[in-house]
Amino acid sequence: MNRIASLGLVAALALTAACSNRADNLSGSSDLAGDRYGYGSGTGAGGIANPASAAYFQAQVGDRVLFPVDQSSLTAEARGILDGQARWLSSNPSFSAVIEGHADEQGTREYNLALGARRASAVYDYLVSRGIPSSRLRTVSYGKERPIEVCSEESCYAKNRRAVTSVSSGAGV
């Protein structure tokens, strides 16, 4: 067990990629579509016009795939999007990615955390199968903690059952 003195140390050691996950990081490339959690806003330079930017990846390649209720298997549509992600990651080797798994609000907090991890892992496995080195990828689950749509209907749930690939350049994950 890794006992440490304070959380400050953990924060100091935190991976740079994590910065793009923070809810308070709302300023970066906020002109883009996306959401208030700053997904895909990344740390990469350049706007949407730059094909080697996180903004381009998010808007043009597609940073997310959606899942059916209580499922973590990839649909044909999802695999198509992930093929594009894999191509982009292959041609932009300085970028690494955190894959964030999410669930809709139907389900308990614990189960949805585990379900979000399955979804993130499904994307991770697919990208690795398409030749992306696992050293450039990490996964995290938010369960039902970070909805992007707030209604309590299937139209919103469908968008919340997602895995988002959040890319950033520089330090690896």
Partner 1 sequence: MRRLTTACLAALILAAPALTPALAQEARGPLRIEITDGVIEPVPIALSEFVTSSMQGQAMVQDMLGVIRNDLEGTGLFRAIGREAFISPVTNFDSPVAYADWKTINAQALVTGQLEHTGDQITVKFRLFDIFSEQQLGEGLQFSGRPDGWRRIAHKVADAIYSRITGEGPYFDSRVVYVAETGPKDARVKRLAIMDQDGANVKYLTDGRDLVIAPRISPDNTRVLYTSYSSGFPHIYEMNLNSLSVTAVDDQPGSMTFSPRYAPDGRAILFSFEQGGNTDLYRLDLGSGSRTRLSDAASIETAPSFSPDGRQIVFESDRSGAPQLYVMPAGGGEPKRISFGAGRYGTPVWSPKGDYIAFTKQNQGRFHIGVMRPDGSEERLLTAAFLDEAPTWAPNGRVLMFTRETPGSGGAAQIYSVDITGRNLQRVPTEGSGSDPAWSALMK
Residues in contact with partner 1 by the rule CB under 8 A = 1-7, 10-11, 13-15, 17-19, 21-24, 35-37, 70, 72, 98, 105-111, 113-115, 117-118, 120-122, 124-125, 138-142, 145-152
Strands (E), the chain: 64-66, 95-102, 137-143, 162-169
- The residue among 3 and 76 lying less far from partner 1, judged by its C-beta, is 3
Q: 101, 116 in Cβ contact below 8 A?
A: yes
State in angstroms the smallest separation of the CB of 50 from partner 1: 26
State in angstroms the smallest separation of the CB of 149 from partner 1: 8
- The residue among 87 and 159 lying less far from partner 1, judged by its C-beta, is 159
State in angstroms the smallest separation of the CB of 8 from partner 1: 9
State in angstroms the smallest separation of the CB of 143 from partner 1: 8
DSSP 96-116: EEEEEEE--SSS-HHHHHHHH
- The residue among 2 and 76 lying less far from partner 1, judged by its C-beta, is 2
3-state helix vs strand vs coil in the chain, percent to 5: 40, 15, 45
- The residue among 92 and 112 lying less far from partner 1, judged by its C-beta, is 112
Amino acid identity of residue 127, one-letter, is L
DSSP 114-130: HHHHHHHHHHHHHHHHT
- The residue among 10 and 50 lying less far from partner 1, judged by its C-beta, is 10
Determine the Cα–Cα distance for residues 97 and 149; give it in Å rounded to an integer: 23
State in angstroms the smallest separation of the CB of 84 from partner 1: 22
